[in-house]
Amino acid sequence: MKHKIVRIQFDTKSGEPLYLQLFQYLKECILNEEIIYGSKLPAIRSLAKELGVNNITIINAYKQLELAGYVTSKQGSGYYVSKRLRTSLSPSYTPKSKEQNVINFGSVSPHPEIFPVETFKQYITEAIDRDKGFAFGYQEINGYLPLREVLTTFLSQTYNITTCKKQIQIVSGGQQGLDIIAKSLLYSGDSVITENPTYNGAVEVFKSRGCRTVPVNIHSQGINLIELEKKVRICKPKLVYVMPNYQNPTTFCYSKSTLLELLKLAETYQFYILEEDSMCELSYSHKTNLTLKSFDTNDRVIYLKSFSKLLMPGLRMGFIIMPSTLCESFTRTKQATDISSSGLIQRALDLYLRNNKWYEHILYMREIYKNKYEYMLEKLEMLEKYNIQFFIPEGGLCFWLTLPPHLSAEKLSAECLKNGLIILPSPMYFSHLDSFKDRHIRLSFASCSFNEIEKGITILRHCLNTLMN
Amino acid sequence: MKHKIVRIQFDTKSGEPLYLQLFQYLKECILNEEIIYGSKLPAIRSLAKELGVNNITIINAYKQLELAGYVTSKQGSGYYVSKRLRTSLSPSYTPKSKEQNVINFGSVSPHPEIFPVETFKQYITEAIDRDKGFAFGYQEINGYLPLREVLTTFLSQTYNITTCKKQIQIVSGGQQGLDIIAKSLLYSGDSVITENPTYNGAVEVFKSRGCRTVPVNIHSQGINLIELEKKVRICKPKLVYVMPNYQNPTTFCYSKSTLLELLKLAETYQFYILEEDSMCELSYSHKTNLTLKSFDTNDRVIYLKSFSKLLMPGLRMGFIIMPSTLCESFTRTKQATDISSSGLIQRALDLYLRNNKWYEHILYMREIYKNKYEYMLEKLEMLEKYNIQFFIPEGGLCFWLTLPPHLSAEKLSAECLKNGLIILPSPMYFSHLDSFKDRHIRLSFASCSFNEIEKGITILRHCLNTLMN
């Protein structure tokens, strides 16, 4: 490691302080993993000597690194490179531009061309004309009242979920929901159980609260209940985070018996369940998907739903159904987070729901997605000869593929990217890595045209040929 | 304390589990401070005996309280009522409804009737027609590029601040800015120095990160630099949080020499300064206000600005100018917080700025506010006979009044509320309370008409008469 640092070339003409140059250089080394996580930075004096600079230059550079979160200092011992999560800058959220040539099997957002833009524009205008300045003022912290009212009706009629307007907290999208729930409930040292694999953006939020995340394996009927109970007894989690429908990334759906057993465990061991539901509506078979919340007689489930996957991600809208004991704490956290969500968008969404456009839109999206799903499924069947296996989810927006032994998902995804295709490799979904976990890829058809799906699979086959020969 | 709990009357007919009834009851006791912070809950067995219920009923109620954050359990010792901040549900953010009869000297938001609603409606429509679905898709995490570009031009031309589009992070309002900065920089055990008194919504964010906040007194020229340096040496803060222009709540502005000294201290002791600037534009004299950021040659200042006070709070828009060493960390936190801010509102704001509407609007607001400021000032002068003192800020949206000795600000504000006037008492702005700190009130004219200002001051005088006789 020292050798690498010694290679720094100071630019003495630029006028930039030496310590800032050293900081930038060390930062790059850490980000490129040339200096690995957990390792100790060289002692101040010896590095100063090697580089021919003052001790204070090294000290200032190290302090900058500490302030920026790259290293932590341990009293009397020195500076250590901080443990950081794998970057979460996932292509799931890459905004699509019209010029983009890359085919994106990573994104689970609908393509902007099928957004209900005109309808929304109409409701936005209607809301402004009706409420004028009040549409741009501060809102109730827990959300625009008429929207919370229409949501409760909607949840009862369509989702078989009984709740009341007091228990609804409007949030600016699913990710903010996770952030608010974590900040309300979790403190440094708490344990959270997650499915394994799981959504890394949630893990990042839990870790940011100083929590320990404990993974429990998931199979095609849901979370492994025996492993779950064992781990619950040991780590006494405050929260168990699950996605019972088209789990991200595996696409598995929980069976009814798993849902009921999970609720029983929550009652026995007194933990809350965070149910994230972004697309239970997207069943392409005759099966109706079940939510945990609809069976939640003991108010143990925190239900989080976003409008990003089924409507438009840029709305930044979602909601939480809060257990009654947590309402006050959640709303208080929402205020400290961003005071309230956009009143204008809440008003437009309220009109959209009241005019039954949401239901029409779901039917429309289901039709579009179903066709793409079937098309990708058909193309995937051609991958059999590569010894690739996958689960058929009968809904949702993704396929989760298992690669043959010895084929690295990360290598495959790097090869695909070189050839103009984004796929998501499994390591980003596992919090505890081993080589076995580098064997899956997630493919989504959500934002692709039929033509792109076909081209993408061709690229994938080409890359498989390259790597397997 | 035990006596109080024993008074619970269980409703055995309602079917609601006894433990939930006990939970609700205890929660109310804690919120009403009938059970005070830090005190220990009764031992499980003895309380079960006194109430004539099962041990498990008590255990379940205590566990519910713990999950909801009202108590913490200490291994082997029992349950203790958690230290909680004073509620931050401040009337500053109460949405105004047309029917409201109460006069609100608490709110610092402009009245919705003077919002530039039609102009914004036009730009929203223009953005949708131009970008269609892309206006509703995911955005760049750090913000819509053209908006960041126009902001840099604007900052250089109007604010004498040199920055680049890479160093700008768009946020959903000032409060989210505080949350993102805290989550990026601060970890459990870190120290943050704040002005004393300060904005309680910021303190709440710092505390939520497990930080210690260390208050340093502020006077009419800015933060007390001697006290600051002394405390910096002791607590080695990562961050010093200041509002150099029309500080909330005191309305003080920093002198140039205080700004420069503060920057020197930041360099000497290697801390970052968070400068929150919500209204430096609102000078009603010939004086031009100075920002710390414009003197920040060493990239020590994190500058946070919101469009809530001067434009419309419901936009939920603001931005951070990030020191270059922190860009990556801030943007990563923004993603984990809510992926990105509304692309539609960012586009409309971009058009608004590009068409020079912002500058016109500031002149317009300054004119409106100046008249209200002068009107309130005139009325306040009538309070002299009550031995009330106040600083004349020559700008901003508030007055900070010092009451005569022995008159409690909290009692006065309670009396005012009974008579239909909201004023904000000083204890909410001090993190460490003593009786001396219960002697100030903050009055804002921002959301009031001339008529309301007059009526409000009349109510205040009436209440002063009541309490001082």
One domain, residues B281 and B340? yes
The CATH code of the domain that includes A153 is 3.40.640.10
For A153-200, the pLDDT digits (tens) are 999 998 999 999 999 999 999 999 999 999 999 988 899 999 999 999
Total domains in chain A come to: 3
What's the average model confidence in pLDDT over B146-169? 95
**B399 phi, psi to nearest 5 deg:** -120, 145
Whole-angstrom distance, CA of residue A248 vs CA of residue A239: 18
For B102-112, the pLDDT digits (tens) are 999 999 988 89
What's the average model confidence in pLDDT over A396-425? 95
Residues of the domain holding B393: 91-108+360-468
One domain, residues A382 and A455? yes
Residue A86 located in a structural domain: no
Between A366 and A94, residue with greater pLDDT? A366
Helical axes B55-67 vs B18-31, angle rounded to 10° = 50
Mutation for testing the A interface, residue in B66, B342, B345, B361 having most A CBs under 10 Å: B342
What's the average model confidence in pLDDT over A434-449? 89
Q: Which of residues 235-264 of A touch B (CB under 8 A)?
A: 238
User: Tokens 């429509």 label which residue?
Assistant: B125
Decide which of A304, A327, A356 is a domain's last residue: A356
What's the average model confidence in pLDDT over A36-43? 83
Contact check, Cβ <8 Å, B133/A124: no
What's the confidence (pLDDT) of residue B1? 46
What's the average model confidence in pLDDT over A434-460? 92
One domain, residues B371 and B299? no
Residue B301 has pLDDT above 90, yes or no: yes
One domain, residues B346 and B373? no
Mean per-residue pLDDT of chain B = 90
Sort residue B8 into left (φ over 0), alpha (ψ -120 to 50) or beta.
Answer: beta
Q: Which residues of B touch A203 (CB under 8 A)?
A: none
What's the full length of chain A, in residues?
A: 469
Residue (of A334, A17, A358) closest to A170 by Cα position: A334
**DSSP sequence for B59-101:** HHHHHHHHHTTSEEEETTTEEEEPP-PPP---GGGPPP-TT--
For B378-422, the pLDDT digits (tens) are 999 999 899 999 999 999 999 999 999 889 999 999 999 999 999
What's the confidence (pLDDT) of residue B227? 97
The CATH code of the domain that includes A47 is 1.10.10.10
Assembly ipTM: 0.83
Whole-angstrom distance, CA of residue B133 vs CA of residue A118: 9
State the alpha helices, DSSP H only, in B141-240.
145-159, 174-185, 200-208, 225-235
What's the confidence (pLDDT) of residue A293? 98
For B304-343, the pLDDT digits (tens) are 999 998 899 999 999 999 999 999 999 999 999 999 999 9
Whole-angstrom distance, CA of residue B51 vs CA of residue B327: 57
For residue B178 the two structure tokens come to 């505080």
For residue B394 the two structure tokens come to 């020559």
One domain, residues B136 and B238? yes
| Range ranked top by mean pLDDT from A86-90, A109-113, B61-65, B223-227 | B223-227
What's the confidence (pLDDT) of residue A433? 63
What's the confidence (pLDDT) of residue B3? 54
B32 in contact with chain A, both atoms CB, cutoff 8 A: no
Decide which of B320, B355, B390 is a domain's last residue: B355
The CATH code of the domain that includes B371 is 3.90.1150.10
Whole-angstrom distance, CA of residue A264 vs CA of residue A136: 44
Instruction: Check: CB of residue B331 under 8 Å from CB of residue B184.
Output: no
Mutation for testing the B interface, residue in A67, A129, A183, A208 having most B CBs under 10 Å: A67
Instruction: Check: CB of residue B319 under 8 Å from CB of residue B151.
Output: yes
What's the confidence (pLDDT) of residue B18? 86
Residue B419 located in a structural domain: yes
One domain, residues A312 and A449? no
One domain, residues B99 and B231? no
Whole-angstrom distance, CA of residue A191 vs CA of residue A238: 6
Mean per-residue pLDDT of chain A = 90
Q: Which residues of B touch A187 (CB under 8 A)?
A: 210
Q: What percent of chain B has pLDDT over 90?
A: 70
For residue B174 the two structure tokens come to 């000032």
For B192-201, the pLDDT digits (tens) are 999 999 999 9
State the alpha helices, DSSP H only, in A32-159.
44-51, 55-67, 117-131, 145-159
Instruction: Check: CB of residue A330 under 8 Å from CB of residue A184.
Output: yes
Residue A325 has pLDDT above 70, yes or no: yes
How close does chain A come to B406, measured CA to CA in Å? 32
One domain, residues B304 and B390? no
Residue B60: half-sphere exposure toward Cβ, Cα within 13 Å: 19
Residue A171 located in a structural domain: yes
One domain, residues A310 and A268? yes
**DSSP sequence for B262-307:** HHHHHHHHT-EEEEEES-TT-B-SSPPP--SGGG-TTS-EEEEEES
One domain, residues B249 and B304? yes
